[in-house]
Structure 1
């Protein structure tokens, strides 16, 4: 126990590779209004209802400031929700959003549960971890039989830029790569689709312009700070994407990918 949170990997609670704990305070102030986080939440909440409608237990790995869990708690108030984060700094922000959710400090490479949860989510987490296949195996072990995992990851190596370096990304995925890894961990893929597809040209141009910029001049949350009207426009575009996905359309390319898979 570290403070008020159960601690399973105390040596990593304050600092480590994969993410900068100092980002949490800025993320906490930006997520609720930012088009990308809002659109991703709509997809996650829809996917839970579509593929695991009767779930009663859910663990989010790498819950950060708790923005996703807050949305899930509002949509599924009867579910038992737990959130884990490797850094206790993030847990402080998360617990302030949702005091009724159980939070813990945990290393995703060593999940201390076996057949405990009906659903597990890891949203833009795997790209930070060198041992992503180990994490997927740990998720498989922690799920109940036929349990559901929901993942989101960044896509396309050709989008790599100093933003990825500064965000401590290890990789961007191809659909083939993430499919192979999820299947090898013992899952059956139920749904796989890109999202942030309509914004891909703008994203590509932005990333190419950043490639010549010195890393020391990078601001971690620069891409999150856009004008109100542009934020509104982009959210409307991604809302349309979510509706297409809900209608059964799987988008072939996009800045991110959603994977829903069942434990075999």
Structure 2
């Protein structure tokens, strides 16, 4: 990503409805995994570190991030040592070390996604899991994806194919961010017309609108506790060896 995108992320992710709501959903999903006490956790592509305090509730956390600006910010913010690393060929960790590996909106930034998942899977303990979130629907491709250096968006089928090609079993695969899907279509259409690369993920709305969007988005965690969603702006996968 461009450095301005990391700066926007650092400024927004503690309060913006999308970042906060996604963390609430992820927290609910991780709570259902019944991880071992003091689980060994790795976040790949930690960005500016907004998820690290959440992950620390579930165990001992390590992290890696390619971008130097984001890595430095995450180190200062979290107290977690965020090291330099690159997918798929520079993973500075021992094999079979982690109970949980997280890639939150990372895989779409990596051209060799299958090779990257194969490399990551070697870091998993035999009963470990990988939790992945990615943007959905290639037909929603926009200037926003270009700005964020995405290589692709995923469908259920293409994400399942990617996991299978990496010799990973899909334990769970569902859409999320479904309730705000109609609003997102309108915003993307407007951005396309006016040639804007911004998205609701980077622009801070008014406090009232932010609180409302957060309430709607984060409420999906109650649905995802019991099942999946048939559509939505994002996909969530839980995979194992």
Which TM-score applies when normalising by structure 2?
0.92
Matched, 1:168 2:149: yes
Q: How far, CA to CA, are the matches of 1:20 and 1:203 in structure 2? A: 23
Cross-structure match for 2:21: 39
Cross-structure match for 2:228: 250
Contact 2:28/2:221 (<8 A) preserved? no
Matched, 1:72 2:37: no
Q: Which of these residues, 188, 213, 225, is aligned with residue 234 of structure 1? A: 213
Give 1:252 shift.
0.8
Q: How far, CA to CA, are the matches of 2:22 and 2:126 in structure 1? A: 27
Contact 1:70/1:97 (<8 A) preserved? no
Contact 1:47/1:260 (<8 A) preserved? no
Q: How far, CA to CA, are the matches of 1:235 and 1:29 in structure 2? A: 17
Mapping for residues 150-189 of structure 1, pairs under 5 Å? 150-189=131-170
> 1:167–1:220: structure 2 CA closer, same or farther, 3 Å change rule?
farther
1:59-87 Cα distance to aligned partner (Å, 9 max, x none): 100001111112222x23xx221110011
Cross-structure match for 2:84: 105
Contact 2:191/2:198 (<8 A) preserved? no
Mapping for residues 1-264 of structure 1, pairs under 5 Å? 19-54=1-36, 56-73=39-56, 75-76=57-58, 79-99=59-79, 101-110=80-89, 111-112=91-92, 113-214=94-195, 218-219=197-198, 223-246=202-225, 248-263=226-241
> 1:115–1:239: structure 2 CA closer, same or farther, 3 Å change rule?
same
4+ runs of 1 displaced by more than 3 Å?
217-223
- Give the secondary-structure state (helix, strand or coil) at the position aligned to 1:22: helix
- Give the secondary-structure state (helix, strand or coil) at the position aligned to 1:67: coil
Q: Aligned Cα RMSD in Å?
A: 1.7
Contact 1:195/1:256 (<8 A) preserved? yes
Contact 1:52/1:148 (<8 A) preserved? no
Q: How far, CA to CA, are the matches of 1:172 and 1:25 in structure 2? A: 23
Q: How far, CA to CA, are the matches of 1:221 and 1:237 in structure 2? A: 14
Q: How far, CA to CA, are the matches of 1:178 and 1:222 in structure 2? A: 22
Unpaired stretches in structure 1, ≥5 consecutive residues: 1-18
Q: How far, CA to CA, are the matches of 1:122 and 1:220 in structure 2? A: 21
> 1:193–1:218: structure 2 CA closer, same or farther, 3 Å change rule?
closer
1:100-150 Cα distance to aligned partner (Å, 9 max, x none): x22100002122331121110000011111111111111111111121000
Q: How far, CA to CA, are the matches of 2:64 and 2:201 in structure 1? A: 26
Unpaired stretches in structure 2, ≥5 consecutive residues: none
- Give the secondary-structure state (helix, strand or coil) at the position aligned to 2:13: helix
Instruction: Give the total of aligned pairs.
Output: 238
